[in-house]
Amino acid sequence: MIISRPCIARSSGKDETGAKKLCTITAEGRAHLDENRDFVTAVLDRLAAVGRRITRMRRRLGEDERGALPPLVKAALDNLREAASKRLEGDAEAEAKIVDILARAADDVRRN
């Protein structure tokens, strides 16, 4: 099945370096985009949300804009996360204690 679509862009060939084709939107393409603006906006919003989720996941896994944490640091943080989680299971008052311990540890890391 062949679907007929309007020509949405025209290629001007390659750039000065010969690396990529440069495209510009045609009048038909602009009209098609305008007719489907709600759909396009929804798709772009969804892609942005996925990007934010990936960023959060990378941070949770010990990665940030500079790259992954050293393996031993990541292992130590994983161990800490597991220990805190287990401690919270059996003690309703453990949260305040753990927060205090972690705040002191963060201060110590900043100083040293």
Per-run averaged pLDDT (10 residues), the chain, 112 residues = 55 65 82 92 95 85 66 89 90 89 92 89
Residue 104 pLDDT:
94
Locate the domains of the chain by residue range. 8-68, 70-112
| Average pLDDT in the chain | 82
Instruction: Name every residue whose Cβ is closer than 8 Å to that of residue 15 and which is 6 or more positions away in sequence.
Output: 21, 22
Q: Token pair of 60, please? A: 């949770």
Residue 59 pLDDT:
77
Residue 56 pLDDT:
85
State residue 23 phi and psi, 5-degree precision. Answer: -125, 150
Binning the chain into helix, strand and coil, the percentages to the nearest 5 are 65, 15, 25
pLDDT digit string (tens) for 11-24?
A: 666 666 666 667 78
Residue 2 pLDDT:
46
Residue 100 pLDDT:
92
The helix/strand/coil state of 15 is coil
37 contacts 43 by C-beta, under 8 angstroms = no
Query: Residue 101: how many CB atoms within 10 A of its CB?
Result: 13
